[in-house]
Structure formats: structure tokens, C-alpha cells
Structure 1
């Protein structure tokens, strides 16, 4: 099935195995999000703020649109996230001297500390989950998962 077929509403019937596979991936996404939200709460962060902090730490500075594209959310969501992070003094906003409508953001010194805590948290979660895998065969579907992630991100952009 092509993307055009799916966009036109031509969705084939799923076999029980396919439905179970897709259902498993969706359940994994939900449980992973809940798990991450609980872990991030210990740092005083909300879902997605970790990705935003890590992105700013990597880029140095960016505007809201670039951040939204980078973490796969709407610009309005990024605006709310930045407001919350600014309240905690984790980011610094800088207006463009040529065009006051344009603003870039970067991490404050405290934001850099929290970004490092997020990086350590992500690494600890990776180690914890990898220690629980049954075998290296667990990586067999990684390409499928990456493909589905890209596909869902692409379709999500169309409906926003």
C-alpha cells in the first residue's frame, strides 16, 4: 500500500498477526511515554521538555519553528514548553535586533545542568531496558519501528 492509498482512505484489512504487531507497537509507545513522564517528573520536567533541552544543548540556539520540527510537535506546543522552561530559568530568549518578531532561545547555565541530568537519565533508562531484553533477536524489528515512526511523523504533520 502506498501513502497515497492510505491518504485516500484505502486501508486493507489486517490479519490477526498484523493487528497484534501494530497494537503491540502502539502499546509500547503509550507505556514508554507514561514511563518517561514518571522519570521526568523527578527532574521537574514534562513530556517532551527533555527532548527540547537536549536539542538546544546540541544546537546551541534555535527558533521555535526549528525546535518544533526537530522534536516533532507543533510550534504552539513548543511555545508553551518554552514558557514553562523560562519560568524555571532553564532557557534564555533573545530577540533579533533586525526584526523584533523573531526570537531565538538557548539554554541558561542552569538549563545546561538540567540537560546533562536528562542525558544521564536517558542513558540510565537505556541501560535498564537493555538489561531486560531476552536476546539480541529483540533488535530484528528495529528497521520496521524506525520506518513506522517516520511514517507516523509524516502523517501527523499533515493533520496538524
Structure 2
């Protein structure tokens, strides 16, 4: 039996909330949006480039966001000794390039697991807590804003990819 990405009940972004709830709400909305764009597609469809000559795929976006979540929240902010899931120094685009449709279910699940791990690692941390990377001091608030921006940009790509694959459009 062929695996198909499950439907997602996308959470609504908050319209009035405190700062932490607003940031988390918008991040959750954008996380759900990416998974919504994948819902109902097979591994083969998720791994298919939708707009040649670009090789960008929905599965590549899922893999990329799992790595981005992991690196920003867990490695850089929380200081965990984790490695990227897909890319390496010798293969910096592996999250987009080394796709196997047969692994789509596991990679979809890996994004969900990474989201849960990232949420857990920051749950009790202050938005004002800082860390330094490349001589730059950032705080958790910056990471939230960056992640919202990262998902929003890639969700625009996901819209175009999904429409090219099967004509589905949506918000």
C-alpha cells in the first residue's frame, strides 16, 4: 500500500494574545500550513519537482524545515549536541537533493518529532534568553521570528509546488 501524507487540522493564528502566545501561535500556523500543502500526496508526488527547471519539492521542504527547526532551536539556542538530519558540510543541499519517495512517511514523521522536541526545549525558556553565534548575540524571540519568516517564505514555494502537482490551491 502506498503511503499518503495525512490531513492536517491547521491551527488558526491568534489575533489577540500575549507575545509568547502570539509567536508560538504564528509558528504553529505556518508549521501546519506546510503540512497542509503535503496532505493527500504520495511519497512519489512529494518528491516530484513541480516547477522545472527548479528541483524544489515538497518533500525537500519538509526535510529542510526539520533541519532548520533542529539547528536553530536545539543546537544553536539550547546548545544541544545534535547534528543536522540531512545536510552535511560535504552535502549542504542534501535536505533538498537526496530524496527517496519510499522514505517520505519517515521524513514527514521526523518533522513532527522535531517540532515536538523543539517546542519542549523552549517551553520554559525566556524569550529574552540569549546565545551567541558567529559573534552575534541573538535571543529566543529572534529565533521565533526567524522561524516564522522561514516557514512563511517556504510556504509560498509550497503553494506553487502543490498547484503544479495537482492543481490544488488554498490559503
TM-score by length of 1: 0.31
Task: Please say which structure displays the higher CA radius of gyration.
Answer: 1
Structure with more of its chain in helix, by fraction: 1
TM-score by length of 2: 0.30
Which structure is higher in RCO with an 8 Å CA cutoff and minimum separation 6? 2
